[in-house]
Structure formats: C-alpha cells, structure tokens
Amino acid sequence: MIFGFLLFPDLEELDLVGPWEMVAMWSQYADGPEKCLMIAETKEPVRCSNGMVIQPHVAFEDAPRLDYLLIPGGFGTREQVDNQRLIGFVSEQAKNCKAILSVCTGSFILHACGLLKDKKATTHWLSLEHLRKFKDVEVVEERIVKDGNIWTSSGVSAGMDLALEFIEHEAGDATAGSVQSFAEYYPSGKNYGTFHTDPKAPGYLTRES
Amino acid sequence: MIFGFLLFPDLEELDLVGPWEMVAMWSQYADGPEKCLMIAETKEPVRCSNGMVIQPHVAFEDAPRLDYLLIPGGFGTREQVDNQRLIGFVSEQAKNCKAILSVCTGSFILHACGLLKDKKATTHWLSLEHLRKFKDVEVVEERIVKDGNIWTSSGVSAGMDLALEFIEHEAGDATAGSVQSFAEYYPSGKNYGTFHTDPKAPGYLTRES
C-alpha cells in the first residue's frame, strides 16, 4: 500500500503534517502503508503558506499508483483548482484509490475533480459558505465527514482527528490507539478566547458547548 | 521579534510543525513575531524522522539574534546532544532569548545545554524515565511545563498545546483564541485503544480519566 500526500505552493503546513505524522507512525510502528510519499507537480521545493519549504519525494510524472491520497488545504487551493495538471493527476489517481482524504480547503480541489458530486463534505469554518455555493455538494458542519471513500475534514488541525478516524476505519481501534499514544495526541482541550461559543463557529463546536 | 525553530536530522515532523503553525498564524494574523525562521547547522535539506525533507531558511552561522527558540524532539536528539556545534548554537542564543521552548525529547537538547539545571521539565512519556536519570532536573508528568523562561512539553502533538499556552502568556487570551480559531484547533478528544487508562500513561492523562 502506498499513501500519497499532495504538495502545491501555499498549502497550509499543519493540514499536511498533522495527517502525515499519524499515517507515518501507522506505517512505521503499526503495520500501516509500506510507503508514504509527498508528491508535487515537479521536484522543485514547495513553499508553504507560512514559509516552510518542503522538498517533494516525487513528481506527478514519476508517481506510482496510489492506494490512498491526502490533499491539504491552504490559500494555494484557490489557484490549484484551475491547475489542469494537478486536477488531472488527482482525478486519474482517484480512479484507483481505496480512499481520498482532504483537510480544510483541500475539499475545493476534490470538488474541482468532480469527487464531491452529490456527496456530503466539509471545510474550514471560514470557507463553509463558499463551499455551499456549489449546488452539487451537501455541506455539513462536522469535524470529520466520510461519504463513501471520500473523507473531508474541517480546518487545519482537524487533519489529525481525520487521520486517526481513518486509521481506525482501516486497521481497527487498537491500531489507532497505538498511533495516538506514540503521537501523544491527548490534547488539553483548553479553549482560549470566545470563538468556541461564537455564532460563527462551526456546528460541531457550538453543539457541544 | 524573531522566532527561531531548530532543525536537525531525524527530528519528529509534528513536534516542529504543530508549534510552527500556531506561531506563524500568530505572526501573520495577530501581531506576533515579525519573523519565523527554520534554522539548521547548514543550509542543506534536513530529512525528518518519517522522511519529510525540509529546506532550512538559514544556517547557524547566518542566523540573527533570536528572541524565541523552539526545539523539536525525535530520534535525532540522541545524536544531537553530542553535537557541539548545535549545543553551542542553542547555548549562545539562549543567553539572549526571552524564552526557550522544547517539544517531546527536545528537552534532552535543553539538558545538554545546561538549561534544565534545577528546573522542572517534561518529555515524551516513553522518555520520562531516561530524563529522570539526570539528577539535576525535576521531571513532572504534565502536558506543558513552564519554569522561568524555559517551557517543555510532553510528546509530539503536545507542541500545539504548548504553543497556544505560550501565545496566551505573551499576548493574552484573545490573541491565543484568535490563533486557535484560525487553526480550528478544537480536537475531538476521542480516545482510541486503551492507553489513556494504562498505568504506563503519563500522569496528566490518567489523573484526568
């Protein structure tokens, strides 16, 4: 099994690296995918939204057939939805993938590939309205949304919750628990400021509080 | 203000990128540090523990005087505690820094610099015993530990909790809340497997459950 992670300019760092960490730990310590690869249009270094610079492992043209593909979000998605090489790559790989996952505004790339047609999906709370403008997607305000083999999540840090839920789905509760313990992913759950009770906050958050 | 992030081979990806994301959002959207820099011994690409490859922004010899410095953990720390160039760089910068932070086994680098002497500190739960062997540190099983201007955290994902707590300390609750909302850091809090009730789990976790 090969797990691909899509890179493009101005992706949001944690959208990518949160799930990368969980999946890579699954791979290394808990019999997960044999290979985890970061894949970009070319092998040139990719500058992320906050300035981190990543060297891709492989370019589109040399990428193997993927079993899983994760697509991060970030400001770069606004440009990438019109990048026919990237949309073509994702669409082509999607035909064979067991599952496709997106974090944050990565869902707009899935949409541009036609992968959200008549599906439930979500995105960063600041982009929910924009996603609702597409009449062929049912936008839901959950932290993680699974519809068939398409998984989407809310913003940035939600990719870690997405990854663990996905690992549980693929490999069971004990395996997800093992990854969670290695990553020591037991967040304090502390809320700062007042956003978590703000009417603008996404439904999954205000329903809980 | 300049916030530096230390890079070295085999650092654990999320240890670095969790806090990087929070601090960079603070910088970009909430009047945080003017500059966030990833700094390594040389400008050669750095291969992380799970295979992600990062291009450093600046080498030790060209690094500016830092106001804050964050040190990630990972298997690479075992070698780096004996790397006199790295220990020298951190020790020298620490003289001027307002605060030094470490995630996971990054605390072993702080220890090698003499920065944990007679201080409270923590690390990844799998390394607590090893840190206790140093008789000059008081190891506590908390998710985040602040002792003077030295902040340490438990493993991997704890760096995000650390960063938000640090931002609150430096810039107040509303600013930390603003960063939290942009990062949509409202974890599901779901526990998989049984580790969270295991006697081997760190104190902060089992005390809560």
Q: What percent of chain B has pLDDT over 70?
A: 99
CB pairs under 8 A between A and B: 188
The 10s digit of each residue's pLDDT in A100-152 is 999 999 999 999 999 999 999 999 999 999 999 999 999 999 999 999 999 99
How far does B51 lie from chain A, in Å, by closest CA? 8
Identify which of A36, A183, A193 has the shortest CB distance to residue B156.
A183
Give yes or no for a contact between A48 and A13, defined as CB atoms under 8 angstroms apart. yes
B207's enclosing H/E stretch is none
Strands A2-6, A35-40: pairing kind:
parallel
Q: Which of these, A1, A32, A17, lies nearest to A167 by C-alpha position?
A: A32
Q: pLDDT band at residue B208, thresholds of 50, 70 and 90?
A: low
Q: What is the DSSP letter of A196?
A: G
| pLDDT of amino acid A208 | 57
Mean pLDDT for chain A? 97
- Look up residue B14 and give its amino acid: L
The 10s digit of each residue's pLDDT in B111-144 is 999 999 999 999 999 999 999 999 999 999 999 9
Block residue for tokens 């099983």: B141
CA distance A40 to B170: 37
The 10s digit of each residue's pLDDT in A190-201 is 999 999 999 999
Helix axes B158-171, B13-29, angle to 10 degrees: 30
| pLDDT of amino acid A161 | 98
- Test mutation, B162, B179, B192, B204, chain A, max A CBs within 10 A: B192
The pair phi, psi for residue A14, each rounded to 5°, is: -70, -25
Is-catalytic flag, B48?
no
- Domains of chain B, with CATH numbers? 2-206 (3.40.50.880)
CA distance B127 to A175: 21
- Test mutation, B52, B167, B182, chain A, max A CBs within 10 A: B52
The 10s digit of each residue's pLDDT in A48-61 is 999 999 999 999 99
CA distance A118 to B96: 57
Q: Which of these, A151, A185, A187, A181, lies nearest to A166 by C-alpha position?
A: A151
Q: Which of these, B73, B40, B33, lies nearest to B153 by C-alpha position?
A: B73
| pLDDT of amino acid B207 | 83
CA distance A24 to B12: 11
The 10s digit of each residue's pLDDT in A77-101 is 999 999 999 999 999 999 999 999 9
Q: What is the DSSP letter of A64?
A: P
CA distance A144 to A161: 7
Is the confidence at residue A207, as pLDDT, over 90? no
The 10s digit of each residue's pLDDT in B19-77 is 999 999 999 989 999 999 999 999 999 999 999 999 999 999 999 999 999 999 999 99
Mean pLDDT, range A18-32, rounded to an integer: 96
Is the confidence at residue B108, as pLDDT, over 90? yes
- CB-CB under 8 Å, B205 with A193: no
Q: Which of these, B163, B142, B134, lies nearest to B70 by C-alpha position?
A: B163
Identify which of B45, B181, B195 has the shortest CB distance to residue A55.
B45
B98's enclosing H/E stretch is none
Identify which of B53, B158, B180 has the shortest CB distance to residue A192.
B180
How far does A168 lie from chain B, in Å, by closest CA? 8
| pLDDT of amino acid B104 | 98
A188 vs B contacts (CB less than 8 Å)? 143-144, 161
